[in-house]
Amino acid sequence: MPEQPSDLDRPAHVKVVFELPSDGEDWPPFSREGLWAVPLDRPDHVRLDNVPWFARDAAEGDVFRVERDADGTLRPVERVEWSGNCTIRMIVWPDGPFAGDLGRVLDRFAAFGFEGERFDQFGMVGFTVPPEADLAAAKRVLKAGRADGSWAYEEGCVSREWQAAG
């Protein structure tokens, strides 16, 4: 009987490279984004394991079918399972009420059940928003912060529940 590969033979994480469309105004600042993913039992399936900073329609925990290109780079082909998580990204303005303090922003949204990361180079925070988070209350704070000059935000990947909440 052929020997089956063990978990030790499989890498703990791989990079999946997403192509990023430009908005025509030098944003996003990259043409590609590599996201960490965990290989699954099927050789062409991975589960994303970090917040997408720029890739659209992807959230931490989503399962993607991937293919290797001619250079050996893993590329997403299609999302085959949605995690239920949303992705929200913010740029925190240095001259706003939070004075660019990314840690304070992360703490503020942790109260709603958001899990976040920071990208200091761009003054950004990225959030994975689980389906059980207090979506309506969080959206009120997001909108208020946009209105008072604390931040700008974008909805990178959202659910119908997110859209319906406030």
CATH T-level assignment (fold) for domain 86-164: Alpha-Beta Plaits (3.30.70)
- Per the document, the length of the chain is 166
Can you tell me the distance from the alpha carbon of 104 to that of 101, in angstroms, rounded to the nearest whole number? 6
Give the H or E element holding residue 157: strand 151-157
How many Cβ atoms are within 10 Å of 116's Cβ, its own excluded? 21
Strand ranges (E), 20-138: 32-39, 45-48, 63-68, 74-81, 86-92, 115-119, 124-129
Per-residue pLDDT band at 134 (split at 50, 70, 90): very high
Report pLDDT digits (tens) over 40-68: 998 899 999 999 999 999 999 999 999 99
Q: What is the rounded average pLDDT of the residues 85-98? A: 96
Can you tell me the distance from the alpha carbon of 39 to that of 24, in angstroms, rounded to the nearest whole number? 34
Per-residue pLDDT band at 11 (split at 50, 70, 90): low
Extents of the domains making up the chain = 7-81, 86-164
Which has the closest alpha carbon to 88: 122, 62, 49, 124?
A: 124
Distances, alpha carbon 92 to alpha carbons 78, 96, 123, in Å:
31, 8, 6
* Cα three-residue angle 48-12-3, rounded to 5 degrees: 120
Q: Write down the pLDDT at residue 6.
A: 43
- pTM for the structure as a whole: 0.87
